[in-house]
Every structure is written in C-alpha cells, then in structure tokens.
Chains A and B, each alone.
Chain A
C-alpha cells in the first residue's frame, strides 16, 4: 500500500510534467464558461504563459456556515495593543473610502467631504489621508477638482446603483460617464436578480462588459451580500466577479441590511486567496457598510493580515467603505496621543 501510494503520486506528477513539456500549455479557453476550445499547438511558440481558465460556476466551493462564523469570531480574540493599535488605526484611516451616496448630495457637500479626506484632523500631525472619495457619477467632476493635487482617488458608483435594475446599455453609459468625468475607480453592482435566477453567464458577461468600459479605471464589483443570503452564494458571486475581471470585490451598497459582516468578508477574502493561488492575480477587497467603530476595523485588519498577509495590507488592495468610521478612528488616535477620550464635538462632521 505504502509504495503503491507514493508511486501513484509520482506518476501523476510525471504525467503532468510530460504533458507540459509536449504542449507547453493547457488548452486555451474562449469566452463563456465551461466551453473549451483546444488551440494547443496552433500558438505554441507565441504563448509562453497560459491564460487563466474559467471554472464552471455551478460548482463553486461550498462554505460551512458554522465553521466560517467560528473562524471570523476567532479574529476578534486577537488583542491589539500599543504600537500595533496605533499602526492599525493609521492604516485603517488610510484605507477608508469616504462615502456620500444620497439623493440630496450637492456640490457643496461633496467639496466639504473632499477637504475632510485630505485633512482628516489637522490638530493631529502626521496622519495619512483617506484612500478615496466615493460619490455618484454626477459628482465625480466636482470631487476630482476638489481633490486636485492630492493622491486621493475618486471612486464613482455606477451601473444603476444601488439596485442595478437597468438595461446593460444604460449601465455601460453610466460607467463611461463616470470614467470620462475622471473617476479613478468604478463601483458597480451585480444583477442580483439574474444571479438568483441562476443566470451566471449573464452576470459574468455584464461584469466583463463593464470592466471593458472602465478602461484604465479600477473596477470594484459590489455583490450586495445582504441580498444573496447564504455564504455559498456569496462565494459563488465572488468567483464570478473575480474571473470576470474585477479589480476589487466589495460586499455591499450600504443601502441594504445586513451590509458587511466579518464572516461574509472572510468568505470573500478566501475566494480572493483561492483565485490568487490559481492565477497569481491579486484582487482587492472592500467591505462596505456597517463598519463604524475602530475596534471592528482593527478586527478586519487582523483578518486580512491572517488570510491574505502583508501584500494586501495597504490601501491599494483593501478599503473600508464607510463614512462614520473616520471620526471614530480619529477619536481613538487622539486618545492614543493624549491618553484621554475627547468629545465628538472636537471632530468635524462632514
């Protein structure tokens, strides 16, 4: 049994190596899931690298609810103190997408928020700025101008946010409008209705089309996990978004409860990890909605640190979609500095 087993392993390995040495690559995949078109020998000299292959989304990995919730709870048991806390708070601040997504948004409101983004709390020197401002497409131009000269990105929601109930042409136009107005990042919503109907190809194609329309802008794909209801579905939607070309996957619009939770975020981080293992392509994560306290933000950072590690611990690959988190982080930072908690009146509400 012993020898046989080991031989079996070796045989497998040898066969794979043999296959690679002959063809130099896996079969190419054409657009669409599960459909493969072997082109192996036709482009042998040109394609040194393999293209990623798209899995069949009917068979995405399953998630055990009890297990994932237990694991998420374990991260909250880490004790974050002293210099780690200070480092974590500053990191959290730098990862915030300061957000205003209301029907009553005006140029004045957006400009104020942009100033806050650049100057979170000038009374405390040495603070980072937030990562981005997140607004509706109509406000992109205003935000872009207000943030001139800073490194802060402008993210725009698009694709008939938050419901996504519009024809593709409208969504594409929405996206192009945002990008033409200067958006560095586009936060799209997936068609949850189609997803729940099992139209995974539709959802995939739509994300791929929006990605194309984004051009150089980075695409964040909002799954709206509160409407997907199970972790299995969150994982499935994550995989579809990842393989369709998302630069970020994002939990929520903030308009639906529950928004981001730690277990949901963990499921998505694990999907990102599996995608990275498989393709070597790094994708970012943005939990959004419901994270308003520093302590919770630190728990998320611990989770990120222990699931994806150091390469993701920066605002290029991780964001918090939040509006009230910034002031709580600032309050905690001030407390670390002065030793006492200050009144909320000392921090600007924008």
Chain B
C-alpha cells in the first residue's frame, strides 16, 4: 500500500462564510426607575447623604439609573432596622415559617428570570447566555436549597443546638451580582439572621430588583436591607458596632483591610477572595474536552471569576497540540454585544477593570511572554478585551502570580506530576484548581496534594448550591454553599 504524502495543513478558517446575524435579546420588558433609594426597613428611602451616583451599561457606556450613595448614618439606620427585625420577629420565627418566605423568593426569582437576566447583562456586561442559563437559575436554586434547611438545622448540626448570630453585614462583588447576593442572603435567612447587604457600586441594579422582590414577597420589614454605595459605605458597614457577622466576597486587598478592621471585635468573619487557579492538562487527558475546559475556565464571564483557571499547565508531550487547538478555539469565540444571544464574551465590567487588564497584558509582554490574541473585531464603544493567551510564561512572571481578573491566560509547561503539584501550589492563593486526565488514580493523587478549596476533575467552573465553595491561604476562609455554608451563620453550644 502506498501511503499518502503529508501536506502542510492550512489554517482553519472560522466565521469566514457563515457568520451569525445579530440576535439581540429584547430589553423592552425591563422596568427601570430613573433613581433608586436605599432599601431599609422594607421601604425604599432617600439617602441621608442626599447623594446619588450613576450606574452605566459597560457595553455601551450609557447611563442606566441613578443609585443612592449611603453614608455612615444610612448604614446605622439599616443596621438598626435589621436589629429590630431580628429581635422582634425573625429570631423568634420557627424555621418552617422562615422557609416559606425563602421558597417564595426563589419562585419569584424564577418568575422574573427573564427580566433579571437581561438587567444583569445590561448592568454588568456579561453575555445574556450566561446570565440566562447560569447566574439567575443558580441564584434561584440557592434560595430553594437553603429554604429546605431552615427547619432542619438541628439535623444539620446534631447535639449542637445551633443558634443564629444576629445581624449580618454582607458585601458582594460585581462579577456575579445577583448570584452573590443569593449566596449570601439565602443561608443567612435560613439560619435566622437578619441582613444588611451592600452590592458593588458598578452593579447594584439586580440587587435593587431583588429588594423589590423581597418587598413583594411580604418578608417582614427590616429582615433584609439593601444599601448601595462605594468603598466608604462598605467600610462604615464593617465598622458598625451593631453587626455580628461580616461576609465579604471581593479582592484580597480589601479582604485584608476588613480582617484588620474586625480584629479585636466580636464580629465573625468569612472571606471569599481572589484566586489564581491552576488548570492542569496531562498527556492522557481527553484533549478536545480539556480545551473546552480551559476556554470555560478562563473566558467564562470575561475572566471576572475568582476561581477562574487563569494559570494553565500543559504536559510538555502534548503542549504543541494543545496550543494549536487553543489558538483555533479562541478564533471561534464571539466577542461583542452582551445582549446578543450568540455572544460568548461580553463587556469588561468597568473602565477601571479594563485598565487593570491592559496593564497586565503590557506587563506580560514586557516580561517576555508571547502574546496571542483572537483576531476578532471588538466594538468601538464600551469596554472590551479580546481573549488573550500568553505562552512562554515562567512561574516568576507577574502574569502567572497576580490575579488579573480578565480574559488573559498564562500558559506554562511541566514534565512530571511532582513538578506540577509544586508549581500549582506555589501561589499566594488557593481557591480552585482543575485536573485533566483519563486516569482515576492520578486524579485522586493530584486532588489530595493540591492546596485549593475546590478542585474540578475533567471539568471546570461547575457550581451547585449543595457544594461548599471557599479557599485556602489568601483566597479567604469560610465556606459558602452546602451544609457547610450554614455554619458560617450559626453559633453552636
């Protein structure tokens, strides 16, 4: 048999002849007010500060609404409302009654899922496919899951007589606005605490919609208070003496400030901070599925994910193959209008974050990393960043050590299992990791040695209300989700 001759393959051509016509999701059903007050004691109130700030659509840079800027007096008012509600109503209410309210909120989230997902996309820039298929359904699921626990706390913690803490101050980030609100509010309510929640200043709108839902649900006044503002508002909340517990999700720098501020007080603290997850591809991995996992790991939500797989480790024997597949794959990612149903990568959340990402890209180039970007066009208006790969990256490069929080992947190679375990653990963070191999024993070996709170095997970025989530080292402490998520809001005897 005469074997055919090898030819040099041409580059695969994507989006050349078959391009998808725009398919934007309608936003006509989103009801927005021009101005939002603070949600305190079951009512929207004008801020004591008298000040408002605007929240914009990062995809178009257009103003969406004005939002109240809470000062220390507003924070005080909210905390007092929460305290009163705790003392008079919520702490006395039986778990099965609390559960009814939480179930109701869950159902209302499902009913309003379409409006919420469009609004989430408008305010934060994430693709509608993600807010529609992930953020909003998962947020509803968290309420649903924790509603079930409300009357079963004695079974979750047998012989420990679990008791609620009191008033919880919760500060959430801008990457998953409604989902993070659900992660925080649902377990706190189920365990019988009352809440003052502060959403991030760039993405307050879905939290304010949630306030409307809570109002409509008939939840007793003051049980959940939602106040908006920037860092100063958060600081006032952290420092307020009437708070029993702080739950924070956000950057490691702010997390450290909060830990300092709460030191020496009776306030309990859980922190869910940054990450620089290692995604490890072995030569015996299902490579095409691993490439999907890498893409999902770093480009999900424009890379604005604390557990993003931002460091890729590829075994040298399959390095060329994986890189070639990755380079072809990023050409098929559609970057653009987040409201378009075909968009894979939406807008960067803010100008400030885009500047940070650009800064790191130029650092990566200066450090000698080899940059490879998708060739896609990006819209002129709005904040966008092309999916970016860096090869030739070393363990000591800043792009391999510091959290970029954007669609930028730092790729390194490794030869042996021990080497990659050492490299993967050689970071200040420890939130998540990914392992790709067809061999089960290798998975168990790796997962027992990697120091990260969540480790995915042959998948990445999978979330479920029943599964605890949280970090090692500078990625924070405390767990959210699952039974473990309840204990952060309980004291036991």
Could you say which of A1, A49, A79, A81 contacts B394, with CB atoms under 8 Å apart? A1
The answer to whether B292 and A70 have CB atoms under 8 Å apart is yes
Query: A98 contacts the other chain (Cβ, under 8 Å)?
Result: no
Once bound together, how far apart are the Cα atoms of A273 and B9, in whole Å?
A: 10
How many residues on B have C-beta within 8 angstroms of the other chain's C-beta atoms? 48
Could you say which of B22, B286, B324, B395 contacts A63, with CB atoms under 8 Å apart? B286
Chain B residue nearest to A59 (CB atoms) is B284
Query: A61 contacts the other chain (Cβ, under 8 Å)?
Result: yes
Query: B493 contacts the other chain (Cβ, under 8 Å)?
Result: no
Q: Which of B19, B288, B396, B458 has the most CB of A within 10 A?
A: B288
Chain A residue nearest to B292 (CB atoms) is A71
The answer to whether B6 and A280 have CB atoms under 8 Å apart is yes
Query: A308 contacts the other chain (Cβ, under 8 Å)?
Result: yes
- B298-329 residues with Cβ-Cβ distance < 8 A to A are 316, 321, 324
Q: Which residues of B contact A87 (CB under 8 A)?
A: 18
Query: A349 contacts the other chain (Cβ, under 8 Å)?
Result: no
Once bound together, how far apart are the Cα atoms of A245 and B6, in whole Å?
A: 13
Write the nearest CB–CB distance from A130 to chain B, whole angstroms.
19
Chain A residue nearest to B7 (CB atoms) is A280
Query: B342 contacts the other chain (Cβ, under 8 Å)?
Result: yes
- A229-255 residues with Cβ-Cβ distance < 8 A to B are 245
Query: B48 contacts the other chain (Cβ, under 8 Å)?
Result: no
Write the nearest CB–CB distance from B21 to chain A, whole angstroms.
4
Interface of A is mostly: helix
Could you say which of B292, B293, B394, B458 contacts A5, with CB atoms under 8 Å apart? B394
The answer to whether B5 and A78 have CB atoms under 8 Å apart is no
With known contacts A208-B1, A279-B6, A305–B413 Cβ distance under 8 A: no
Chain A residue nearest to B334 (CB atoms) is A78
- B377-395 residues with Cβ-Cβ distance < 8 A to A are 392, 394-395
Query: A137 contacts the other chain (Cβ, under 8 Å)?
Result: no
Q: Which residues of B contact A88 (CB under 8 A)?
A: 18
Could you say which of A212, A277, A281, A311 contacts B4, with CB atoms under 8 Å apart? A281
Chain A residue nearest to B286 (CB atoms) is A64
Could you say which of A51, A61, A63, A305 contacts B3, with CB atoms under 8 Å apart? A51
Once bound together, how far apart are the Cα atoms of A50 and B7, in whole Å?
A: 8
Query: B76 contacts the other chain (Cβ, under 8 Å)?
Result: no
Once bound together, how far apart are the Cα atoms of A245 and B5, in whole Å?
A: 12
Chain B residue nearest to A79 (CB atoms) is B23
Once bound together, how far apart are the Cα atoms of A54 and B394, in whole Å?
A: 35
1/0 contact trace for A81-118 toward B, CB 8 Å?
11111011001000000000000000000000000000
Q: Which residues of B contact A245 (CB under 8 A)?
A: 4
Q: Which residues of A contact B397 (CB under 8 A)?
A: 2
Q: Which residues of A contact B129 (CB under 8 A)?
A: 77
Q: Which residues of A contact B321 (CB under 8 A)?
A: 277
Taking beta carbons and an 8 Å cutoff, which residues of B are in contact with A? Answer: 1, 3-10, 12-23, 129, 133, 284-290, 292-293, 316, 321, 324, 332, 341-342, 392, 394-397, 412-413, 438, 458-459
23 A–B pairs (Cβ distance < 8 Å), ordered by A: A2-B395, A5-B413, A9-B392, A31-B1, A54-B3, A63-B286, A66-B289, A67-B289, A68-B289, A81-B20, A81-B22, A81-B23, A82-B21, A84-B20, A84-B21, A88-B18, A277-B321, A277-B324, A280-B9, A301-B18, A309-B13, A310-B14, A313-B18
Taking beta carbons and an 8 Å cutoff, which residues of A are in contact with B? Answer: 1-2, 5-6, 8-9, 29, 31, 49-52, 54, 61-64, 66-68, 70-71, 77-85, 87-88, 91, 208, 212, 245, 270, 273, 276-277, 279-281, 301, 305-306, 308-311, 313
Given contacts A276-B12, A281-B4, 6 further A-B contacts (CB under 8 A): A64-B289, A67-B458, A82-B21, A280-B8, A280-B9, A313-B18
Shortest beta-carbon contacts, A-B, top 7: A67-B289, A280-B7, A2-B394, A79-B23, A310-B16, A64-B286, A310-B13
